[in-house]
Structures are given as structure tokens and as C-alpha cells.
Structure 1
């Protein structure tokens, strides 16, 4: 049973690679431009076009290599942007967990709330100072006219 599954998996991998190569041959540079996402081809769109799951693009070594080669060729033609220096050597390395990211996000949200509140309070103070100045002048005028005791 296990060997039968392996054959089917291998056959499926070859079918996906063949479908990918056929798809690439039918695409124009403009077609590739339309499915560009964050500096690379949109994996979901590629998988949909060749009729496989997105996981096949990373788990099938031949398909993964063919996709990488295609993207490198598209970069050479200027259709895709050049790969960032930081991305070149770290494709297969897992991203290091940042335990402070959540705290930084919360602090950033709190900071923006406080900044907005600060702006509102400054406007309120300015408005109240204007009113106080007007009422001070009115009080002084009334006092000079004798309507209010000094």
C-alpha cells in the first residue's frame, strides 16, 4: 500500500511539474506582471493556474526549483524586482521568533491613542482659554461700570 501511494505521489509531482511547464509556456510577460505580489509571483494564482495546491509549490522539489528559476529569469528581464539582499540567503531558514513584537504593537497602538487624546485636550484648552479671556474682559468692563463689586 505504501509503495502504491509513493508512485501516485511521484506521478502527481510529475503531473504538477508538467502542468507548470505548460502554463509557463503559455504566459506572456504581461501575464506574469499581473500576478506579481510582494516581489514574486503570487503562489495562490500559480497553484490555481496549474491545478494544484499551494503546498505543492514548496513540497515538490522539482516544482519549487522550476518556480525559482522562472522568477530568477523574470528578475533578469526586469519583470520582477530584484531580490532583496536580506532575502537571498534566508529562503529556507525559519524566521526567528520575536517575543517583543506583540508588546511593541500594543505600545504603538497605545501611543497613537494618547497622541490623539493629547491633540483633543490641547484644542479644548485653547478653546477654554479664549472663553476665559472674553469673560475676563466682560468682568472687567462690568466692574468698571459699577455693576460688580471690586
Structure 2
């Protein structure tokens, strides 16, 4: 059984071995928003994305790899704003989950609204048809009981 430090070292070695075996075209295939896709890297290495963020040695190795790829022109260069934001922590938005739930609920309600409008139109057509039938029967003297 490996302890945390041994596992971290094993993950770093796996990352270094993986990055050494990749060609520039391989890196281009996993490009996402101007950087290497963390999800694809984690899948290739067989560990969670959290390892790429929480293990400082793997995180630094990934940063060095991306900088080297930027220098070679494989990855696009960082914008001025991205360079200034690179080491700042991301601001947590506690409304993101609520917005997603509201958006999903709104979509469901709109779909239900469309279905109900169609049902109302169908029922109004039936009401009109049966109203005419009732009127005709009453004129003929046949009133249903």
C-alpha cells in the first residue's frame, strides 16, 4: 500500500513518462480553450483530474509542459489578461448551481406550457363541435337528459 507521498511521486512519474511519449500533434488533439484538456490527460494517465490540481509537482510539470508547447507554437500564446490572472485564485460563484437548476426548470415549464396550450386548443375544438351538436339537437326537439 502506497502512502500519500509515494502516490504523488508515482503520479508525477506517470505524467512525465506520458508527456515524454506524446508528439506535438497528440497535444493538439487534446487542446481545450487554449490549454491542454485536464480531463483527457487524467483519462490517459488513469487518475482523477484532482491530481493535476492538488499535486503541486504534477501541477508545476503541467505548467512547464504548456509553457514549452506555447514556445514551440503548439498551444496559442496567453493573452495579457490570462497572464495577469494565472496565479490568482478563481472567484467562487455560489449562484452557478442555482442558475443551472433555474434554467433547467424554466425549460421544463416552457415545454409543459406548450403542451398545455396544444391540449387547450384541442379541447376548445371539441367543445365547439359538441356545442353545435347540442344546439342542433335542441332545435330538433331532442334534448338529452
Report the TM-score, using the length of structure 1 for normalisation: 0.61
Q: Which runs of 5+ in 2 are unaligned?
A: 1-5
- Render the CA deviation track for 1:71-121: whole Å, top value 9, x for unaligned: 3135x35xx456566534322211112232233233223222221221121
Q: Which moved more, 1:91-100 or 1:27-36?
A: 27-36
Q: 2:66 aligns with which of 50, 68, 73?
A: 68
**Preserved contact between residue 30 and residue 36 of structure 2 (Cα < 8 Å):** yes
**Gap change, CA 1:81 and 1:144, over 3 Å in 2:** farther
Q: Is the 8 Å Cα contact of residues 41 and 71 (structure 1) preserved in structure 2?
A: no
Match of 1:101 in 2: 96
CA deviations 1:26-49 (Å, max 9, x no partner) are 543322223334432234638839
Supply the distance in 2 between the matched residues of 1:65 and 1:147 (Cα, whole angstroms).
Answer: 88
**Unaligned stretches of 5+ residues in structure 1:** 1-8
Deviation digits for residues 51-85 of structure 1 (CA, Å, limit 9, x no counterpart): xx632331x4xx355213223135x35xx456566
The size of the alignment, in residue pairs, is 126
TM-score under structure 2 length normalisation: 0.62
Counterpart CA distance in 2 for 1:92 and 1:127 is 60
Q: 2:81 & 2:112 partners in 1: Cα distance? A: 39
Larger Rg: 1
Equivalent residues in 2 for 1:1-150, closer than 5 Å? 20=16, 27-43=22-38, 45=41, 48=45, 54=52, 55=55, 56-58=57-59, 60=60, 63-73=61-71, 76-77=73-74, 80=75, 83=78, 87-148=82-143
Q: RMSD over aligned Cα, in angstroms? A: 3.6
Tell me, in whole angstroms, the C-alpha distance in 2 between the residues paired with 1:138 and 1:84.
Answer: 74
